[in-house]
Chains A and B, each alone.
Chain A
Amino acid sequence: MTVGGCLAAAAGVLLLLAFMGFSPGHILNLWYRGSLGSRYALADTLTKACPLLLTGLAAAVTFRAGVFNIGAQGQLLVGAALAVAMSTRWLPPDTSPLIGIPLCLLAGAMAGALWGLLASLLELLRRVPMVLSTILLNFAALYLVKILLHSFLQAHGTSAPQSSQVPRHFCLPILMKYTSLHAGLFLAAGIVLILEWLQTMTVFGFQTTAIGLNAAAAKLAGMPAAWRQVQVMLIGAGCAGLAGAMQILGVAHFMTAKIGNYGYAGIAVALLGRLDPLGVAVAALFFGALDAGAQRAEESSLGLPHETANVIKAIIILSMLLVGAWSLRRTLRSGLARTDEGEATGA
């Protein structure tokens, strides 16, 4: 059903583009060559899937517990900024990469988590709706980062809002020559496995799912709903911050405010992956391929805007909603039922 929805969405967009005078065969060919056609294309897909996977998790982990964290973009920006500050300003240049790289990544994740915590606190203490505070914090983060890129983080000898280069030895190791595929891929994959374990095998996972289904009932059952929701936010926002740090250390190697719209796309990834970490990984690979293909189509003589990839992503979500194959509540319910069975057989 899900795969059918994706294919239908892609076919619909192709049809529209055909009306506008773009040959669907040509576009499909470019998409294929850009995403899966060669080892290099495949590496590109994986590279692009990495941040999507982490921001997807940022949305999935929180949505599942009923916390509407739309703020992955802001958390990612703040995370990236902290990683840049760490690598270009704070760490002594002769620090060993074995210490420096983990420190930079950790700083990014912590910054993201704290930025997310702001929204949690606003909701807990002042009853500010999470949906709104996270969105507004996205804009606040964007301008904050721009301010930093104009002042503290700005590269010397330029007036452009960009940071200095991250020292070479603090960059993530590249896995394949002539590509940007970096070692962060393994870290992201590890996080997926840990979160999947957390969700399916632990009391924490069971409680967060229950809270997402019905927070009042969960509270009555004695679960620390508010605390769990804060924890979930810290995990999710930390993932988003890590995505930013990883993007800087692994791909860009310096920072501008135009780091990419991974935060909002992450929501689409999370929904397509049905809020399940493994599902999110599959969805991120699919969207990564879509982005890689769209980039090839834009760079080609065709000049097809890469924004078409976003249209496809949005239509995928909407068509899945429309077909009725997907509904947040139903997913959560079946998720809980599965956990129930697991508990029963495990006992």
Chain B
Amino acid sequence: MSISLGTFLVRQTITAAAPMVLAGLGELLAELAGVIDIGIEGLMLAGALAAFLGAFVTGHGVAGLLVGILAGIFMAGIFGICSITFGADQIVVGTAINLLSLGTTGSIWMLFQTWSQNHQLSIHLTKAESFNRLALPGLAKIPFLGPAVFDQYALVYLTVAMAIAVGWILHRTRLGLVIRGMGDSPQTCAAAGIRVNLWRMTATLFAGGCAGAAGAYLSIMQTHSFAQNMTNGIGFVVLALVIFGRWTVWGLVGGCILFGAINSLQQTLQTARYTSHSAILHAMRHLPFEVFQMLPYVAALVALAIFAKSRPGPRFLGVPWRREV
């Protein structure tokens, strides 16, 4: 099926934005509850490798996804025990989690590569072991939009549903009020009989599951394989996007789409400048391709510089809660 460049760009944008939205929703919930987990990059990485290995061993993509989610929850559990239960500094624990995840996945991956070489097995997943694009019947036939929006991985549709669900929970339910309250005034919550640390832990584990699924998306859906440090900073960009979106679901989704667009645009530009006849693109031919790779990070910085000041985050973000405080 041949599709136009515009359709392709929109499609790539959504494909790139989905894992960021997924991980961002979890992080958003945790941050609103007062927990900032900068280990999200590590959680995603752990989820990516675990999902790959899960799919490789069981032969089913869905099982791989579940293993990825569990790995994210497990790593988030380590984070939670250190930073919530023991009240250690969240930034420090998050950094340690990133280091732990990078080291562990790196070691396991190197050992796995040696092992698969010895047994002459491919490190790429087969169709059954990974996810493929799922075209929604009927909708995918709509001109232009159909192949762009309704021919995505199943997880993308789930992510959309989850964004709506999280938005609704946060602003329309008592649970949402409790979550936001824990970030803004944990003492009030405690006075109302809410077990702050228990709920913070729940939010953290939820964020871990989301990050794990986002990691799985990278490995078993987008690339059908794993690579050392394959998240390559996406988790950190997500952290920036939560702030960029001013701690709202719609801001986050908008930010992710914007960055997905920048990402798909830079990838397209990298190749299009060699084939296109446009004078501007032609002039870009001599730029090192890293100029394009650098764009998303610089854009994140610029976005933060413009928007970070406009609305402060949860007041007790990153502050451990103890009864006697």
- In the complex, what residue of chain A is closest to B294 when comparing beta carbons? A143
Q: Is B227 an interface residue (CB 8 A)?
A: no
Contact B290 A315 (CB under 8 A): no
Q: Which residues of A contact B106 (CB under 8 A)?
A: 305, 307, 310
Contact A313 B305 (CB under 8 A): no
Contact A311 B107 (CB under 8 A): yes
A-B contact count (CB 8 A): 143
Q: Is A322 an interface residue (CB 8 A)?
A: yes
Contact of B298 among A126, A140, A321, A327 (CB under 8 A): A140
Given A68-B91, A321-B82, A321-B86, the answer on whether A315 and B100 have CB atoms closer than 8 Å is yes
Q: Is A221 an interface residue (CB 8 A)?
A: no
Q: Is B297 an interface residue (CB 8 A)?
A: yes
CA distance A127 to B311 in the complex (A): 10
- In the complex, what residue of chain A is closest to B310 when comparing beta carbons? A127
Interface size in chain A (residues, C-beta < 8 A): 47
- In the complex, what residue of chain A is closest to B239 when comparing beta carbons? A132
CA distance A303 to B297 in the complex (A): 35
Q: Is A111 an interface residue (CB 8 A)?
A: no
Q: Is B130 an interface residue (CB 8 A)?
A: no
Contact of B236 among A128, A139, A324 (CB under 8 A): A139
**How far does the Cβ of A17 sit from chain B's closest Cβ, in whole Å?**
9
Contact B288 A150 (CB under 8 A): yes
Contact B110 A327 (CB under 8 A): no
Given A146-B290, A311-B100, A311-B104, the answer on whether A318 and B305 have CB atoms closer than 8 Å is no
Contact A322 B297 (CB under 8 A): no
Given A150-B290, A311-B100, A324-B86, the answer on whether A20 and B304 have CB atoms closer than 8 Å is no
Contact B240 A317 (CB under 8 A): no
- In the complex, what residue of chain A is closest to B100 when comparing beta carbons? A314
Contact of B96 among A68, A126, A150, A317 (CB under 8 A): A317
Q: Which residues of B contact A150 (CB under 8 A)?
A: 288, 290
- In the complex, what residue of chain A is closest to B305 when comparing beta carbons? A126
**How far does the Cβ of A295 sit from chain B's closest Cβ, in whole Å?**
14
**How far does the Cβ of B150 sit from chain A's closest Cβ, in whole Å?**
33
Given A135-B236, A140-B294, A307-B106, the answer on whether A321 and B308 have CB atoms closer than 8 Å is no
- In the complex, what residue of chain A is closest to B295 when comparing beta carbons? A143
- In the complex, what residue of chain B is closest to A20 when comparing beta carbons? B111
Q: What is the interface of chain B mostly: helix, strand, loop, or mixed? A: helix
Contact A328 B89 (CB under 8 A): yes
**Residues of B85-113 contacting chain A, CB below 8 A:** 86-89, 91-93, 95-104, 106-107, 110-111
Q: Is B275 an interface residue (CB 8 A)?
A: no
Q: Is A216 an interface residue (CB 8 A)?
A: no
Q: Which residues of B contact A337 (CB under 8 A)?
A: none
CA distance A150 to B288 in the complex (A): 7
Q: Is A203 an interface residue (CB 8 A)?
A: no
CA distance A126 to B107 in the complex (A): 40
Q: Is B309 an interface residue (CB 8 A)?
A: yes
**Residues of A108-128 contacting chain B, CB below 8 A:** 122, 126-128
Q: Is A163 an interface residue (CB 8 A)?
A: no
CA distance A56 to B185 in the complex (A): 35
CA distance A343 to B304 in the complex (A): 42
Q: Which residues of A contact B305 (CB under 8 A)?
A: 122, 126, 128
Contact A314 B103 (CB under 8 A): yes
Contact A131 B290 (CB under 8 A): no
- Mark contacts of A182-206 with chain B using CB atoms, 8 A cut-off: 1 yes-contact digit, 0 otherwise: 0000000000000000000000000
**How far does the Cβ of B24 sit from chain A's closest Cβ, in whole Å?**
14
Contact B288 A313 (CB under 8 A): no
CA distance A136 to B104 in the complex (A): 23
- A–B complex contacts, Cβ < 8 Å, 22 sampled: A128-B305, A128-B308, A132-B243, A135-B38, A136-B233, A136-B236, A143-B290, A147-B288, A268-B99, A303-B114, A307-B106, A310-B99, A310-B100, A310-B103, A311-B103, A314-B103, A318-B93, A321-B86, A321-B88, A321-B93, A321-B96, A326-B88
Q: Is A40 an interface residue (CB 8 A)?
A: no
Contact B301 A140 (CB under 8 A): yes
Contact of B82 among A133, A264, A322 (CB under 8 A): A322
Contact A310 B102 (CB under 8 A): yes
**How far does the Cβ of A46 sit from chain B's closest Cβ, in whole Å?**
23
**How far does the Cβ of B319 sit from chain A's closest Cβ, in whole Å?**
11
Q: Is A151 an interface residue (CB 8 A)?
A: yes
- Mark contacts of B23-62 with chain A using CB atoms, 8 A cut-off: 1 yes-contact digit, 0 otherwise: 0000000000000001000000000000000000000000
**How far does the Cβ of B239 sit from chain A's closest Cβ, in whole Å?**
6
- Mark contacts of B296-316 with chain A using CB atoms, 8 A cut-off: 1 yes-contact digit, 0 otherwise: 011011001110110000000
Contact A328 B88 (CB under 8 A): yes
